[in-house]
Amino acid sequence: MTGSAPQKPRIRDAEATQKRIMVAAKKEFAKSGLGGSRVDDIAERAKANKRMIYHYFESKETLFQRVLEEAYTDIRMAEQKLELDHLDAKSALEKLVRFTWKYYLDNPEFITLVNSENLHKAKHLKKSEVIHVVSRRLVDMVSSILRRGVEEGVFRENVDPVQLNITIAAIGYYYLTNRYTGSIVFERDLMAPEALTDRIAFNIETILRLVCKVSD
């Protein structure tokens, strides 16, 4: 309590500081959105001086853009590691639905960041260069599963891969992003462990019934 702090030797590490700022910013932006976040809070959480944020990232908005880009590349990279090619089409699709759900569940900041970006009409993502490259790989992945499913004779033809992609995301994303209002509206704890397992089962059923030739 008394006595001055034992004068910590100021360690200098540009890379580590930037990383700490990115991690802290992701958390703050996810918690409060772009508009609701405070640069001072980000600096404090990062254990960095506020000035460093402007030194390394120029502005609050640029920092947000960097955080958002990283969030997108992270999920797209995780998807690419799934190795769905050795599975039959139906199993591959089910695995993708499960993955998407689990990713949202384990990385809730992804959802909040995307929501915040849409409130701003995607003005930051528009400036991104890498987004198209990584996104195409996702669409290709789903297209490939659909094509194989048709070849195997288990999927019906002419299912739009983009619509399917959107639907797979939607049924998980909506449930989780609206978990607070949803729990009130439906008078049910949507985040209870049992509720979560119920939901993923329901989602798999939804997607398989949508693309499979024969249902029951």
Applying CB under 8 A, which residues contact its own copies? 32-36, 72, 112, 114-115, 117-119, 121-122, 125-126, 128, 131-132, 135-136, 138-139, 156, 160, 162-163, 165-167, 169-171, 173-175, 177-188, 198-199, 202, 205-206, 209-210, 213-216
Backbone angles phi, psi at 3, to 5 degrees: 80, 140
User: What is the C-alpha to C-alpha distance for residues 155 and 137, in angstroms, rounded to an integer?
Assistant: 21
Backbone angles phi, psi at 159, to 5 degrees: -90, 125
Bridge partners of 155, per DSSP, are 212
Identity of the residue, 52 or 144, whose beta carbon is nearer to its own copies in the bound complex: 144
Residue 212 three-state SS: strand
128 sits in the region (left: phi over 0; alpha: psi -120 to 50; else beta) called beta
Identity of the residue, 64 or 101, whose beta carbon is nearer to DNA in the bound complex: 64
User: What is the C-alpha to C-alpha distance for residues 216 and 208, in angstroms, rounded to an integer?
Assistant: 11
Which entry of its own copies, DNA, none binds 204, CB below 5 to 8 A by partner kind? none
Query: Angle, nearest 10°, between helix axes 130-152 and 161-177?
Result: 110
The stretch near DNA (CB under 7 A) out of 47-55, 109-117, 120-128, 154-162 is 47-55
Q: By CB under 7 A, is residue 103 in contact with DNA? A: no
Q: How far is the CB of 170 from its own copies (least distance, A)?
A: 3
Contacting positions for DNA (CB under 7 A): 9-14, 16-17, 37-40, 48-52, 54-55, 59-61
